[in-house]
């Protein structure tokens, strides 16, 4: 039986207000080092929140284009201590000689600098009110954030609602976990929209495009390279999203403005 590692821990802190203070118990988000082992060979380690570890590992391989479907995975297992995922594949992939450390706190790793990316045609438009509704729904999906703070949330939506939501200290990890969940649950989601609380850097945009998201919505800013990738791939990139306003960095013609 696998040991359960909670996504948060209880800590005693000192709260200072003005010149007075008090002690209280609060929840602090947990962080572990998770090792990914492929066909018996250790590949790399993630810094992550101990939730959906198997999904993180599988989604990472998918987003890195190392696997293309669940059929290529023979077996998988999370070790009893919860800090190692063993994956057995139907083939022997070449382990990348080096990993590029991606940007941000608890940043991820990638082996790709310029993978071939699809281009999304604009075949439908979305009401602005629909985007506002999804942004509002994201606020209500952040269960661990409401307890601890210090954690990112990402969600996959369709035309009507949020379908999947995950939380992790690493914004890159949230997109890998979403990919893993979709593969393991055989989810076919049309008209995918990605919502995220994290900054959209180039590697985040790569993962979003790999997931097939034609709209990416962030509560904060994108990088210049992410904007270029979105423009090239036909993705509508939205930043600084709030319940009543947002910035559109690429392909505003996908929205009913």
Convert the pLDDT of each residue in 59-91 to its tens digit. Answer: 999 999 999 999 999 999 999 999 999 999 999
What span, in angstroms and rounded, lies between the C-alpha atoms of 147 and 153?
13
User: Does 213 qualify as catalytic in the annotation?
Assistant: no
pLDDT in tens, 122-148: 999 999 999 999 999 998 888 888 788
Mean pLDDT of 221-228: 97
| 32-110 topology per CATH | Ubiquitin-like (UB roll) (3.10.20)
pLDDT of 103 higher than 50: no
**The pLDDT of residue 100:** 59
**Among residues 48, 105, 157, 213, which one is catalytic?**
105
Distances (CA, A) of 120 to 20, 74, 82, 191, 213: 57, 32, 38, 11, 9
* Confidence at 2, pLDDT banded by 50, 70, 90: very low
pLDDT for residue 34: 96
Q: What is the pLDDT of residue 1?
A: 41
- For residue 195, name the pLDDT band (cuts at 50, 70, 90): very high
**pLDDT per residue over 169-178, tens digit each?**
999 999 999 9
Residue 55 pLDDT > 90, yes or no? yes
Q: State the average pLDDT for the chain.
A: 91
What CATH number belongs to 126-256?
Answer: 3.40.140.10
What are the structural domain ranges in the chain? 32-110, 126-256
Question: Is the confidence at residue 114, as pLDDT, over 70?
Answer: no
């Amino acid at each position: 039986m696998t040991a359960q590692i909670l996504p948060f821990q209880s800590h005693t802190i000192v709260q200072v207000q003005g010149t007075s203070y008090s002690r209280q118990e609060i929840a602090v988000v947990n962080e572990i080092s998770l090792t990914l082992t492929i066909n018996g060979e250790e590949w790399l380690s993630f810094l992550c929140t101990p939730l959906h570890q198997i999904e993180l590992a599988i989604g990472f391989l998918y987003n890195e284009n190392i696997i293309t479907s669940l059929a290529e995975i023979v077996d998988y297992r999370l070790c009893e201590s919860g800090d190692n995922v063993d994956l057995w594949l139907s083939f022997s992939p070449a382990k990348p000689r080096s990993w590029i450390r991606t940007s941000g706190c608890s940043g991820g790793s990638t082996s790709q600098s310029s993978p071939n990316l699809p281009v999304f045609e604009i075949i439908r438009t979305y009401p602005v009110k629909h985007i506002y509704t999804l942004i509002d729904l994201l606020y209500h999906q952040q269960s661990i954030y409401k307890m601890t703070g210090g954690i990112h949330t990402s969600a996959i939506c369709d035309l009507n609602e949020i379908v999947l939501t995950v939380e992790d200290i690493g914004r890159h990890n949230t997109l890998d976990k979403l990919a893993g969940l979709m593969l393991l649950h055989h989810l076919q989601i049309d008209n995918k929209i990605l919502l995220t609380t994290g900054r959209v850097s180039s590697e985040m945009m790569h993962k979003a495009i790999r997931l097939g998201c034609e709209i990416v919505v962030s509560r904060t800013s994108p990088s210049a390279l992410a904007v270029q990738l979105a423009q090239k791939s036909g993705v509508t990139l939205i930043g600084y999203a709030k319940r009543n306003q947002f910035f559109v960095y690429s392909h505003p013609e996908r929205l009913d403005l």
